[in-house]
């Protein structure tokens, strides 16, 4: 993952988090 790349929106980051943590709270997918 390229942290220095700020091109992707926050939504993309949320989706990545959900993929990494399938047990993440619904707030992330909201």
CA–CA separation, 1 and 12 (whole Å): 12
The torsion angles phi and psi of 22, rounded to 5 degrees, stand at -60, -15
Spell out the domain ranges in the chain: 1-30
Quick one: pLDDT at residue 3?
60
Which three-class secondary structure state does DSSP give residue 26? helix
Tell me the average pLDDT across 4-21. Answer: 72
pLDDT bucket at 20, cuts 50 / 70 / 90: confident
**Whether the model pTM is above 0.95:** no
Q: How far apart are CA 19 and CA 11, in angstroms?
A: 13
């Amino acid at each position: 993952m390229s942290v220095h790349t700020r091109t992707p929106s926050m939504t993309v980051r949320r989706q990545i988090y959900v993929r990494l943590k399938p047990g993440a709270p619904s707030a992330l997918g909201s």
